[in-house]
Chains A and B, each alone.
Chain A
């Protein structure tokens, strides 16, 4: 049986066809295997790389709801000159110049870089620039491939340096530094969202699963306890007084003793968060109100007396014989005027700031009870304020290797001990608040999509009994009227104490360098604020009553006026 030739021809053709198709199939198989195996990781990475949806950083507001820091959107506009024709360059140059705020020649120069793949036309451009680019694209049919408009969130500071040490700042890399910005970064930053899908031939990501989309969660807005009006006045008073006294630095802190809410925290020298890189020294970023240690000096005396009253070692009406000097732990202690004053009441001790009297009271009290009560005031431990880099202070106590009995005498009037201004404010707050120590805080509320979280004041501990607190308050009030009239505001009863502390240098105190401070609270009978005023190394003037007390008076006068507190005395 023979086979017809046409069948053989057909068979031959079919074999060829099968061979060609098989070869094509093999090539496809090989290519498929190659793509699956060789660049697999890169492809998977590219395919799975999600588009990040940026979250807006929360704003920071003062207690009245006024913005202290806000987020804004800024744009970076870049171009790929290679992708533009000569005609397009000529047409777009003047329009782009108007958008990015440069001259036409400057923009034309950038567009002429045809060998460049990516050239920046402008950075940190306002929202209007982004909108203008959108309009340009809509009207001109602009080749979007050639231009990139990249939005980013940045910070604006409406009042520039106001409360800068409290607020901190966000640097150009977007990293929060110092202050509330750093401490509350987790709340402020929010959560970035993602958009993940498959990429089409135009490069657009198509969402194929709901799991690929997570919306961004904006950061919480923080409402501070700080009042920007009080803060501004504190900074103004501090600045003026520093100019007069030629002090190297200074602080004013205002706190509500009933809650621990900080109403103002001014520290100079400071910086502009808008141009933070222009500081002369990195020390300017430090919030000296919580991070800098100093010897408080005589402002410590009311605390020594409060401890003695609490321990029932003395009574308010007691007096002692001031002989001008006393030896505690082999160390001679003298009054600041090197004089003896004879019988002196406890109120006079405060009014005229007798070192001998304070050392005498501390000696009566003994080291154990003295340090125990002083510790209860919060010294040598952080206050727990919600700001970073808080210092705990240094206080040598019995049992420490370097403690000596002479420390008791020196500590009684605030020398030989290191504290932060905020610790002193908190301790005085306890005196004003019936002996209850409150934890200072600056953030009152957090507002986010889930609601409002209100921060409640925190009671730390009852340091002294309410009765003793009232006794020492009365003594301090009388002392102000008796010996510190520079701090007195007519019509109001204020309690306070001045302190002129030597600055230790190489183991001894120099008379040239002092820290002058005044701490007080009022108005009586229901204190609404504690105010600390401190000047570092003033060159004009020496005593705290000359430098710090008048500033305290100005601040207090502003506060009673601002809060509309009626005078209680004629």
Chain B
């Protein structure tokens, strides 16, 4: 008899009273298995949630890594472009196209030769500015120190003699 009772399907139990062979649902077993099912569902949900989160972050990292690699390649390409643009070969070609010529190392006329004629200093100090003549062996314009100072003084005088602004503004 006991073996027959044990062989009843899950969640069923034999009625203690009533008709022969009758059975009814076991609420305690149902509750137990229901709770277990709920727990498994929660655990499963947690697992899936975490897995999804990990996968999302992993994907984001992968995308960032892709971007980094792409930028890395861009840097390489730009550096190569800089290298090619700065090449001596190109500089010479462009220069030649614009009519420039490399100077010859033997051409010493390119060098500015400044010869300063040193005159003996006068014993007494005078108010006039003594100017040492400078000879330039080049076709550069010679700037006279005297005229520059004179111009400055003249400009100062003009400014000093000019009337003040009627509104007192500078």
Contact = CB atoms under 8 A, between A and B. Distances in A.
Interface stretch (A24-32, A197-205, A533-541): A197-205
A72 B84 CA distance: 11
A258 interface: no
A174 interface: no
A72 B88 CA distance: 19
B59 A1 contact: no
Interface stretch (A4-12, A353-361, A524-532): A4-12
Interface in B102-135: 105-106
A195 B65 contact: yes
Interface in A117-162: 126-127, 130, 151, 153, 156, 158-160, 162
B138 to A, nearest CB: 17
A208 B54 contact: yes
| Chain B, interface SS category | helix
A72 B76 CA distance: 5
B8 A229 contact: no
A14 B58 CA distance: 45
A512 to B, nearest CB: 33
Given A67-B83, A204-B59, A562-B105, A229 B76 contact: no
Nearest to B103: A561
B82 interface: yes
A561 B89 contact: no
A207 B84 contact: no
Interface residues of B, number: 35
Nearest to B22: A4
B55 A206 contact: yes
A34 to B, nearest CB: 26
Contact of B87 (A1, A14, A158): A158
Most buried by B among A4, A73, A126, A554: A73
B73 interface: yes
B21 interface: yes
B9 A14 contact: yes
A70 B84 CA distance: 9
Given A7-B8, A127-B74, A59 B79 contact: yes
B49 interface: no
A70 B83 contact: yes
A3 interface: yes
B82 A67 contact: yes
A447 interface: no
Given A70-B79, A72-B79, A557-B106, A158 B4 contact: no
Contacts of A208: 54, 58
Contacts of A127: 73-74, 76-77
Interface of B: 1, 4, 7-9, 20-21, 23, 54-55, 58-59, 61-62, 65, 69, 72-77, 79-84, 86-90, 105-106
Interface of A: 1, 3-4, 6-7, 10-11, 14, 53, 56, 59, 66-67, 69-73, 126-127, 130, 151, 153, 156, 158-160, 162, 195, 197, 200, 204-208, 213, 216, 228-229, 232, 554, 557-558, 560-562
30 contacts: A7-B8, A7-B21, A7-B23, A56-B72, A56-B75, A66-B86, A66-B88, A67-B79, A69-B83, A70-B82, A72-B81, A126-B77, A127-B74, A130-B73, A153-B76, A156-B80, A156-B83, A158-B84, A158-B86, A158-B87, A158-B88, A159-B87, A160-B89, A162-B89, A206-B54, A207-B58, A208-B58, A228-B88, A558-B105, A562-B105
